[in-house]
A and B are shown apart, each in its own frame.
Chain A
Amino acid sequence: MGEWRAYAALFGGRLRSATAYRTSFAVELVTNAAGTLIDVVTVFVLYRAAASVGGFTLDEALMMTGITAFAFVLADLTVGNIDQLETYVRTGRLDAVLVRPLAVLPQLMLADLPLRKLMRLAVGISVLGLALGRNDIDWTPARALLLVSAPVSGAVFFGAIFVLSAATAFWWVDSGKLGHGFTYGGRDFTSYPITVYGSWFRTAFAYALGFGFVSYQPALTLLGRPDPLGLPSWAGYLSPLVALAAVSVAAVVWRSGVRHYRSTGS
């Protein structure tokens, strides 16, 4: 239990640091919320030009955008700042983390917790709510469960992607924005029906990396639409398993990353 109190204290410290400059923090809160809004506005703008994109209407696409927006925001808020690992490795600040009596990953997460992204959560939930309002969903207990499990699993999945991307820095310090291709790129990928993507690109992102199960498959199942790409409707319920697999891979990679850091230093 002592450890939890320690983490709670770190969280409290982060909270007080973030609010040390109130005006700056307020501006960042608003700006960040607007950031998520822009992703959604983009979807609306594109649908202004075409009634159907990739065989889906705006309302159907919003279901995917909504699940992604909520899931990504949740992940970004909790583990998003792990991409600062690069700086920690480069400057050797990771050493200072390693001499504390706590695990490395939660320390890093809590030390930089991006509270400025808090308002994004509201935007993410609103988009999902909007999508639910604009679609006529035939509610069943399974679908109700899916409405909860899909965003949560999506968040866990994105969290794993954040950790995996950040862990690149253990081996390649100058990997810079490489990870953004998968974190923010993954968010963009899952904001649209995956039918829009070319076949090899889709196969790589949706099935090999697993992004297809974040929002596309659950949205189809919620909407009761058959998958034009041929997966059965129960594929929509696979997101927790996919998330679990991603977390396992991320855990292994993270651990071997820390081990690698310890054998090579910065």
Chain B
Amino acid sequence: MDALDASVPAISPRRPISASVATFRALVGSGFRRYATYRQATLAGTFTNIVFGFLRCYVLLAVAAGAAGGAPGGYDARQLATFVWVGQGLLNVVGIWGWADLADRIRTGDIVADLVRPISPVTAYLAADLGRACHALLTRVGPPVLVGALFFPLATPSRWQTVPLFAVSVLLAVIGSFACRYLINATAYWLNDARGPLAFWTLGSGVLAGLYFPLRLLPEWATVTLWVATPLPGLLQTPLDVLIERDPPALQAGLVALQAVWAVVMLALARWVQRRAERRLVVQGG
């Protein structure tokens, strides 16, 4: 069996770890290259991100100016501006919207081609999504942050641990977002048409991840519930709060830990759902 497997890229416990890493890296690379070909769309998307950056930044700054103490939700003006502009960049890295590849492949039946590969679809799609995120990190974050810094005073981290924590938090946000999107797409295994769930996701994820306004502006019970009971703040709000040092160091690290728990839970859930779906396909013959 091992001799057979050796000719096909595979990630399985029976192969040396280095080979699995190489396969994973190749898949990440393919995801990166796929998005690198959409150069003009990247440009257009960046422009739109910047327009929305201005809109949201001005509104939040006006809110800060009108708020008692000038710090709504515990953010000062610099932190709010940073929240908005880095958020506009990070939005594309985390990629909460616009991924229906899996649902489309399920609907058209092309998914069968993914199932016969010697690698779990969850792993394969995760690798490709990490490649996409790397591409977005290189192309989509710089411009809005630069424009934001040109027009508004931004906050810079003052603690040494903020930078590594932020990096980890972004990675966890990408993984968490991927797992959520995978689950939403996977509803197509049962519904055949995932348009409804996808629309629901697009709608809820933006607002509940903190894209439209920092979640700390909500009443405290709502904020806490969202953080503990859903993975959504982990997609955008947590990395941004970490970066702008909204909380003291212990809570800052605690938020990332909570985010990690949710990322692992969602990924495990995605794998479990995928296995259930495969068993169902085998039994019912698609």
Contact = CB atoms under 8 A, between A and B. Distances in A.
Interface residues of B, number: 40
Interface stretch (A6-14, A46-54, A93-101, A245-253): A46-54
B47 interface: yes
B221 to A, nearest CB: 13
B112 interface: no
A185 B51 contact: yes
A38 B212 contact: yes
A52 B64 CA distance: 10
Nearest to B206: A38
Contact of B203 (A24, A34, A189, A195): A34
A189 B44 contact: no
A53 B217 CA distance: 14
B38 A50 contact: no
Given A31-B196, A48-B217, A54-B62, A181 B203 contact: no
Interface stretch (A126-134, A155-163, A171-179): A171-179
Contacts of A181: 47-48, 50-52
B114 interface: no
A87 B1 CA distance: 46
A31 B199 contact: yes
Contacts of B38: 174
B203 A176 contact: no
A28 B196 contact: yes
B73 interface: yes
Contact of A201 (B45, B54, B62, B195): B54
Contacts, number: 109
A53 B203 contact: no
Q: DSSP class of A's interface residues: helix, strand, loop or mixed?
A: helix
B187 to A, nearest CB: 11
Interface residues of A, number: 39
B41 interface: yes
B190 interface: no
A155 B200 CA distance: 26
A32 B207 contact: no
A42 B218 CA distance: 10
Interface in A30-49: 31-32, 34-35, 38, 41-42, 45-46, 48-49
Nearest to B152: A198
A207 interface: no
Contacts of B52: 181, 185, 188
Interface string A50-78: 11111000000000000000000000000
A52 B62 CA distance: 9
Contacts of A175: 40, 44
A231 interface: no
B22 interface: no
A174 B40 contact: yes
B266 to A, nearest CB: 22
Contacts of B197: 27
Contacts of A174: 38, 40-41, 44
Contacts of A180: 48
